[in-house]
Amino acid sequence: MQCDDVVLHLAQAPDEESNDYLPLPVRHHLVTCLSCQAERVQYRRLHRELRGMRLEVIEPDERLLPDILDSVRPSATVTQLRPSRRKAYVSGIAAAATAGAAGALVLVSKLSAKGQRLAG
Amino acid sequence: MSKEIDNLVAKAKSGDHRAFEELVRETYVDTYTLAFRLTGDPEDARDVVQEVYLRVHKSLRRFRGDSQFKTWLHRITANCASTLLGRRSKHRHDPMPDDAPIADTNPELDPAARADVGVLRNQLTEALRGLPPKLSAVVVLRDIYDFSHEAIAAELGISESAAKVRLHRARKRLREILHTHDESEEAEAHAV
């Protein structure tokens, strides 16, 4: 068995304390191969470090909590959007409505002008 | 703490909104931490956390308590983050292809920090952020949060075998970081 093949197995379950989960040829290889033994230790160390990260917390900025509470308040109407985005959303709708109304006015005035020309 | 959470869950399920708010206060930092680890971006993490609590608010009555509340919360967070990242990848190219090298871990860039005990942790954190999201998500959920392969597959919308393959690739990349770290420490020891 080649070291490369063994390493594939080692990466699969670094959290296992014993080698029982490994296929027999891999276990035999590990008994005699110092390089793979070292690799096994390193995978366990990596796993330990990653597990240690579970205790770390990443602090969010202070706006997050009020934003969450705001969005789940029983009286909240637009619950899917957070306040900053809600403002942008409402502004967007207002802008679209204004543009639509202006477009309709232009269209109506053009049509009425055309109608007057045809009538004349 | 767990009993306190269970109490709050029970009250919130029966419609006590103050209890729900308290539940949010007790858990949102942890939820944000997971969301940040999965998305790698503070704004995305905020969006995920908000979406999580909206979902929790809507479906808390359906929470049967078969698992711990925090486990349930983590699963919803993983699902929301996966949805957000999936949407993102449809709109923009992933800047990090699967085989791209991991984040620059050259220890020479910050020699002073190398003396710090937490340097390896920092390197791992950076390396995790440098992994493509689909690889980092799996290793975060499995190795940091202890999700089962089945749960990872369910929340990320992939097969169990895909989850295992991704996990293997992610660990291999992270293992390379450790290797670099050790080599640099050895070199430093020789220099001294």
Helix axes A3-10, A34-52, angle to 10 degrees: 20
Q: Above pLDDT 90, what percent of chain B?
A: 55
For chain A positions 58-77, those within 8 Å of chain B (CB to CB) are 58-61, 64-65, 67-69, 71-74
Mean local confidence (pLDDT), B82-98: 67
pLDDT of the residue at A119? 61
Q: Which residues contact B100 (CB under 8 A, 6 or more apart)?
A: B132
Using CA atoms, how far apart are residues B184 and B180, in angstroms rounded to an integer? 6
Burial of B4 (C-beta count, 10 Å sphere; 0-12/13-18/19+)? exposed
Tally helices (H) and strands (E) across chain A.
5, 0
Among chain A residues, the shortest Cα distance to B136 is held by A50
Using CA atoms, how far apart are residues B128 and B143, in angstroms rounded to an integer? 12
Residue B98, pLDDT > 60, answer no
Radius of gyration of the CA atoms of chain A, in A = 34
Residue B71, pLDDT > 90, answer yes
Strands (E) in chain A, as ranges, are: none
Query: How close does chain B come to A46, measured CA to CA in Å?
Result: 7
With cut-offs at 50, 70 and 90, classify the pLDDT of residue A107. Answer: confident
Mean local confidence (pLDDT), B61-87: 91
pLDDT of the residue at A86? 58
Q: Please state, in angstroms and as integers, the Cα–Cα distance from residue B64 to each residue in A76, B67, B117, following that order.
A: 26, 8, 43
- Contact: A54, B172; criterion CB under 8 Å: no
* A47 in Cβ contact with A15 (< 8 Å): yes
Least confident among B68-72, B103-107, B122-126: B103-107
Using CA atoms, how far apart are residues B110 and B120, in angstroms rounded to an integer? 13
Residue of B171 and B191 predicted with greater confidence: B171
Of B87, B96, B94, which is closest to residue B51 (Cα–Cα)?
Answer: B87
CA B16-B21-B24 angle, to 5 degrees, is: 130
Q: Which of B25, B33, B144 has its CB closest to that of A58?
A: B33
Residues in chain B: 192
State the best of B22, B57, B176 to mutate against chain A, taking most chain A CBs within 10 Å. Answer: B57
Least confident among B21-30, B87-96, B104-113: B104-113
Strands (E) in chain B, as ranges, are: none
A120 touches chain B (CB under 8 A): no
Six-digit token string for B90: 């449809």
A53 touches chain B (CB under 8 A): yes
Tally helices (H) and strands (E) across chain B.
8, 0
With cut-offs at 50, 70 and 90, classify the pLDDT of residue B111. Answer: very low
Residue type at position B31: T
Structural domains present in chain B:
1-92 (1.10.1740.10), 97-192 (1.10.10.10)
Q: Which residues contact B96 (CB under 8 A, 6 or more apart)?
A: B130, B131, B132
B147 touches chain A (CB under 8 A): no
Residue A106, pLDDT > 90, answer no
Residue B110, pLDDT > 60, answer no
Per CB-CB distance under 8 Å, the chain B contacts of A12 are 164, 168
For residue A26, which phi and psi values (nearest 5 degrees)?
A: -70, -45
- Contact: A46, B54; criterion CB under 8 Å: no
Read off the pLDDT of residues A36-95 as tens digits, 9 standing for 90 and up.
988 888 888 888 889 999 999 999 999 999 999 999 887 754 445 555 555 666 677 788
A2 touches chain B (CB under 8 A): no
- Contact: B143, A47; criterion CB under 8 Å: yes
Residue B112, pLDDT > 70, answer no
